[in-house]
Amino acid sequence: MRAMTMSKAGGPEVLGMAEVERPVRVSSELLVKVVAAGVNPIDAKTRAGRGSYPAISTLPAILGLDFSGVVVEAPYAAHPLQPGTEVYGMGMVPRMSGSYAEYLTVSELSVVRKPSTLSHAEAAGVPVAALTAWGMVVETAKAHEGQRMLIHAGSGGVGHFAVQFAAYFGAHVVATGSTRNVGWLRELGAAEVVDYTTTRFEEAVDEVDAVIDLIGNVKDETATRSLSVLRPGGIIVNGPSGSWPTMAEEAAVAGVRATGYQVAPDGATLAIISRLLESGDVRVYLDQVFGLAQAADAHRKVEEGHTRGKIVLSVSDS
């Protein structure tokens, strides 16, 4: 099969097309023909030698967590996801081979039927970003009516889902974003938008109950500055791994709660998100779709850090 592989840790140029063996399905796994694959910041971090790179046992390796495609082999004859079924989900890279390839194997627990209202490209942009947003906003910060929630980087892949989930559950959402995204963030459900290019958010935001931090301290000490707008006992949920090494100590001094978050490939939760997508209560937005051979360009786009919604690779025909 065709696959985009990384030959070593480094810049986007270490990605290259190759012919590799098709993965073999075992036990309760599905074999899926990949039609589209999502591109996430963790992919770029891993490619660069950070992220999940230490867990890569052999090179070349195939990246890509998100996928949308068609079942080729099911675990058994009466399995609900039979060959020909359109599915989407999240894999376990680098424990298993990724979605930057024509085929992948994945646990049946990580896969659900693709919403009929979404194209494969749109569906491939959902799993990692939406599951991350759900875990941070709904499961950890407990979004609810009357809650004030500040969401940083609200226009990104995770951010645009976070804004929608928080608003859906009744929270008063304050999002940060660039000038071009102010109106769009309001359309997503933000009650207030702070244009970070012109305004320091701590000068415009009143006391909030929760902060969804999708930046950390890698840019302008965003995480540390967020502590000043949290009410006593409030919570800050930090997403990007390694972006705020002193989180626990700083939060303790400020008298607030703080936690990181790591997404899991949970098909049951993805099924809930699917219903919100099918009803139109939540939407996925694609910034750009690249061909599989353009994966290096897709990584460069993600690393620029100014995407509106998701970046996706078109892998094969459905």
Summarize pLDDT for 170-205 with one digit per residue, the tens.
999 999 999 999 999 999 999 999 999 999 999 999
Residue for token pair 């049951």: 268
| Section 215-238 average pLDDT | 96
Domains and CATH numbers, the chain: 2-126+284-314 (3.90.180.10), 129-260 (3.40.50.720)
Q: Is 0.85 topped by the overall pTM?
A: yes
Q: What is the predicted pLDDT for the residue at 306?
A: 86
Q: What is the predicted pLDDT for the residue at 2?
A: 97
**Model pLDDT for residues 6-59, shown as the tens digit of each residue:** 999 999 999 999 999 999 999 999 999 999 999 999 999 999 999 999 999 999
- Residue 219, C-beta contacts closer than 8 angstroms, at least 6 positions apart: none
Compute the distance between CA of residue 116 and CA of residue 314 in angstroms, rounded to an integer. 18
pLDDT higher than threshold 90 for residue 274: yes
Q: What is the predicted pLDDT for the residue at 20?
A: 97
Q: What is the predicted pLDDT for the residue at 241?
A: 86
For the chain, the residue count is 318
Compute the distance between CA of residue 210 and CA of residue 188 in angstroms, rounded to an integer. 19
Surface-to-core class of residue 48, CB atoms within 10 Å of its CB (0-12 exposed, 13-18 middle, 19+ buried): middle
pLDDT higher than threshold 90 for residue 248: yes
Q: Which residue has the higher pLDDT, 317 or 274?
A: 274
Can you spell out the DSSP letters for 184-230? HHHHHT-SEEEETTT--HHHH---EEEEEESSTTTTTTHHHHHGGGE
| Section 87-106 average pLDDT | 96
Backbone angles phi, psi at 27, to 5 degrees: 50, -125
| Section 282-300 average pLDDT | 98
| Section 138-159 average pLDDT | 98
